[in-house]
């Protein structure tokens, strides 16, 4: 093959240059907004207002962060989000994985009926109001359970895990184990799960990100501010411009308040998104794996 490798033609060199330049521009377009939020959160808000912050922080200050860290609502939101994400992930992953294993087995009686039972919900649902009324009747309104139970075991996740089991746990394994007198439960615990660490990681990550970033269920089902997850606290600050008066106690004029509000906005974006953005490059392969398995037609 090597002798056949021609020197690159001029057109191909241009193609490569064009490709690199364009992709680099795309990358910068994605990166710059994130980077700008970071530098703006350390800059004097007067410089942000006058448009003097471009590539580096100007008038370096930690004032925004001090105000954020001294305010309890963000930390309550943080704690709530961690609680919901932990409990929701445990319940969600357990339901999903337990359901996926039997459905991955060739010899399960009634398998296609159960698959249909799950799949129907992808195309048809009761919708927002009937679900809301149900949660109300179950007295789950304003409780953590409304956030972590109703959505557990989403069809798409079940299909991903099932596909993984089908492709990585050969039937012969179960046949051999059952001849030796191994029960289904024991086989699942001591053979299937240890072989499925990667898909468990994928599921845990999907759930954590979902709970961490989701706000719709909390918006509908929760009314106590003390139960608000981080995203709802953020919504008050970022979207509705409601910064806690506690953060502003020392700020006098209306104009100064506006500026500090802006600084706090940049700061909370960083405080809320940084954990995930820092962690995700190390976990990237799991997210990619999930997408890959999900794209195989189940």
Partner 1 sequence: MNSRTSSLDHSTIKPKRKRWSRVKRDYELYLFLLPIIILYLVFKYYPMYGVQIAFKDFSPSQGIWGSEWVGFQHFIDFFNSYNFWTIITNTLSLSFLSLLFGFPAPIIIALMLNQMLGKRYKKFVQTVIYAPHFISTVVLIGMLNVFLSPNSGIVNHVITMFGGDPILFMADEGWFRPLYILSGIWQETGFSTIIYLAALAGVNPELHEAATMDGASKWKRVWNVDIPSILPTIVILLILALGNIMSIGFEKAFLMQSDLNYGTSNIIPTYVYEMGIQKAQYSFSTAVGLFNSLINIILIVTVNRIAKKITETSLW
Is 208 exposed, middle or buried, given 0-12, 13-18 or 19+ CB atoms closer than 10 A? Answer: buried
Q: If binding is defined by CB under 8 A, does position 12 make contact with partner 1?
A: yes
Tokens 């919900």 correspond to 121
The set of residues, in sequence order, having a beta carbon less than 8 Å from that of 212 and lying 6+ positions away, is 81, 85, 230, 231, 276
Q: Using CB under 8 A, pick the residue from 102, 142, 166, 201 that binds partner 1.
A: 102
Cα–Cα distance between 277 and 19 in angstroms, integer? 27
- Nearest-approach distance from CB 56 to partner 1, in angstroms: 14
Q: If binding is defined by CB under 8 A, does position 288 make contact with partner 1?
A: yes
Q: If binding is defined by CB under 8 A, does position 66 make contact with partner 1?
A: no
Cα–Cα distance between 67 and 247 in angstroms, integer? 5
Chain residues 268-287 in contact with partner 1, contact rule CB under 8 A: 268-269, 272-273, 276-277, 280-281, 284, 287
CB nearer partner 1, residue 79 or residue 258: 258
Cα–Cα distance between 192 and 266 in angstroms, integer? 46
Give how many residues touch partner 1 by CB under 8 A.
Answer: 104
Asked if 105 contacts 161 with a C-beta cutoff of 8 angstroms, the reply is no
E strand map for the chain: none
Q: What is the DSSP string of 69-112?
A: HT-HHHHHHHHHHHHHHHHHHHHHHHHHHHHHHHHH-TT-TTHH
Asked if 232 contacts 242 with a C-beta cutoff of 8 angstroms, the reply is no
Q: Using CB under 8 A, pick the residue from 99, 147, 202, 243 that binds partner 1.
A: 99
Is 277 exposed, middle or buried, given 0-12, 13-18 or 19+ CB atoms closer than 10 A? Answer: exposed
Q: Using CB under 8 A, pick the residue from 2, 9, 223, 253 that binds partner 1.
A: 9
- Nearest-approach distance from CB 70 to partner 1, in angstroms: 20
- Nearest-approach distance from CB 198 to partner 1, in angstroms: 16
Q: If binding is defined by CB under 8 A, does position 59 make contact with partner 1?
A: no
- Nearest-approach distance from CB 149 to partner 1, in angstroms: 7
- Nearest-approach distance from CB 6 to partner 1, in angstroms: 8
Chain residues 110-169 in contact with partner 1, contact rule CB under 8 A: 110, 114, 117-118, 121, 123-134, 149-153, 158
Give the dihedral sign, CA 75/76/77/80: positive
CB nearer partner 1, residue 184 or residue 244: 184
Chain residues 174-203 in contact with partner 1, contact rule CB under 8 A: 175, 178-179, 181, 183-185, 188
Chain residues 228-267 in contact with partner 1, contact rule CB under 8 A: 231, 234-235, 237-239, 259, 262, 265-266
Q: Using CB under 8 A, pick the residue from 43, 48, 65, 203 that binds partner 1.
A: 48
- Nearest-approach distance from CB 31 to partner 1, in angstroms: 5
């Amino acid at each position: 093959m090597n002798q056949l490798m021609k020197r690159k033609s001029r057109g191909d060199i241009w193609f490569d240059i064009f490709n690199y330049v364009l992709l680099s521009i795309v990358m910068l377009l994605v990166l710059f907004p994130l980077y700008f939020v970071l530098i703006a959160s350390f800059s004097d808000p007067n410089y942000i207002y006058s448009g003097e912050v471009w590539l580096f922080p100007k008038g370096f200050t930690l004032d925004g962060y001090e105000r954020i860290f001294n305010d309890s609502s963000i930390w309550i939101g943080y704690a709530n989000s961690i609680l919901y994400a932990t409990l929701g992930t445990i319940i969600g992953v357990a339901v999903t994985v337990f359901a996926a294993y039997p459905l991955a087995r060739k010899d399960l009686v009634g398998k296609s009926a159960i698959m249909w039972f799950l799949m129907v919900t992808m195309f048809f649902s009761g919708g927002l109001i009937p679900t809301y009324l149900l949660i109300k009747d179950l007295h789950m309104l304003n409780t953590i359970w409304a956030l972590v139970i109703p959505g557990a075991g989403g069809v798409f996740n079940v299909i991903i895990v099932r596909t993984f089991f089908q492709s990585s746990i050969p039937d012969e394994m179960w046949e051999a184990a059952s001849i030796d007198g191994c029960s289904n439960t024991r086989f699942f615990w001591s053979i299937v799960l240890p072989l499925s660490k990667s898909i468990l990681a994928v599921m845990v990550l999907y759930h954590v990100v979902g709970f961490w970033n989701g706000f719709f269920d909390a918006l509908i089902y929760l009314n106590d501010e003390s139960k608000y997850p981080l995203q709802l606290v953020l919504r008050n600050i970022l979207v509705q411009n409601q910064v806690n008066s506690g953060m502003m106690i020392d700020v006098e004029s209306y104009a100064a308040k506006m500026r500090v509000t802006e600084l706090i906005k940049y700061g909370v974006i960083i405080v809320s998104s940084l954990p995930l953005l820092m962690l995700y490059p190390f976990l990237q392969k799991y997210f990619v794996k999930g997408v890959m398995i999900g794209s195989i037609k189940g």
